[in-house]
Amino acid sequence: MEDDLLSQLKQMTTVVADTGDIEAIRRFQPTDATTNPSLILQAAQQDTRRQRLAEIARQAADIDDALDAVAVEIGSEISALVPGYVSTEVSARLSFDTDATLARAHSLIERYARHDVAPERILIKVASTWEGIRAARQLEREGIHTNLTLLFGLTQARACADAGVTLVSPFVGRILDWYKAQEPEADFSGERDPGVQSVKAIYEHYKGHGYQTIVMGASFRNAGEIVALAGCDRLTISPQLLGELAETRAPLTRQLVPLDAETRAPEPQDEGDFRWAMNEDAMATEKLAEGIRKFMADQRKLETLLGTLRRE
């Protein structure tokens, strides 16, 4: 009998849990875990956390202090359950401010140190804006690892690789969402999925030019997208889809295979090149802006929750 899809996937790809749910991480035993403002909000709303959140909120200097304290506390719990990286995101509000992103990243690393979590276990997660990529470049030079998120195409991926970031999280499902909105009747199944095609293009570009940056597909809408990217360096997967993979027995074929670098990397983009290429890519531009807005919407909900607890 075939092994389940999750077991087979773990043999060819590093599986990452896309959640802040401690119980889900215990169940699926991923190598890494990644969080974002939406996932931290979900974790923070659990009744079992309310008393502790109230303590954090009352002890914090301000709401920003409380937000980071909550993210690091949950991240520290996760770090005890996974052997690899834990990703923690800088506030989406700082997506267009390099210096503020750097300051917040340093603060997060210091907080983790107070929880006895070493810097090499943490990926500072930053939106793939020009300013975010510049901040990541500096952090990597300081030995702080980064995860560049809200990435929707090769323009952003090239800039991230040029900056020497540790890992990129190209989104799959949100790209599919955009194309389905443009062409509701089109068949985007399997390898026709434009999100899958985007991650494959990034993977092939990195491997073909010898970049060391890790490619971690993210934001999946269905298990078929995951199957189509089997063999990618990493895939960060929601508990729902992890469960579906664990319950499905079928052969899994590796789709992405690392090749030896054959050509020299292209010249790095400057800011003008980057911004022009993004301007020409309506999908990437729109989904990046939308993603930042959505993360901020959930961050504001968490700010409201912490503010309420702070006053109780």
Phi and psi at 36, nearest 5°, equal -150, 175
Are the C-beta atoms of residues 302 and 67 closer than 8 Å to each other? yes
pLDDT at 283: 98
Give the global pTM.
0.94
Report, in angstroms and rounded to the nearest whole number, the Rg of the chain calculated over CA atoms. 19
Distance of CA 230 to the CA centre of its chain: 18
Phi and psi at 211, nearest 5°, equal -70, 145
Q: What is the dihedral of CA 145, 151, 155, 159, to 10 degrees?
A: -10
Name the strand (E) or helix (H) holding 200: helix 194-209
pLDDT at 1: 61
Q: What is the dihedral of CA 90, 92, 229, 258, to 10 degrees?
A: -50
Residues marked as catalytic: 125
pLDDT at 49: 87
Are the C-beta atoms of residues 90 and 136 closer than 8 Å to each other? no
Are the C-beta atoms of residues 196 and 228 closer than 8 Å to each other? yes
Which pLDDT tens digits describe the chain residue by residue (312 residues)? 679 999 999 999 999 999 988 999 999 999 999 888 888 888 888 888 888 988 998 999 999 999 999 999 999 999 999 999 999 999 999 999 999 999 999 999 999 999 999 999 999 999 999 999 999 999 999 999 999 999 999 999 999 999 999 999 999 999 999 999 999 999 999 889 999 999 999 999 999 999 999 999 999 999 999 999 999 999 999 999 999 999 999 999 999 998 776 667 788 999 999 999 999 999 999 999 999 999 999 999 999 989 998 887
Are the C-beta atoms of residues 115 and 136 closer than 8 Å to each other? no
Q: What ranges do the domains of the chain cover?
A: 5-311
Are the C-beta atoms of residues 21 and 238 closer than 8 Å to each other? no
Distance of CA 196 to the CA centre of its chain: 16
CA torsion sign for 229, 140, 41, 96 is: negative
> Which CATH number is associated with domain 5-311?
3.20.20.70
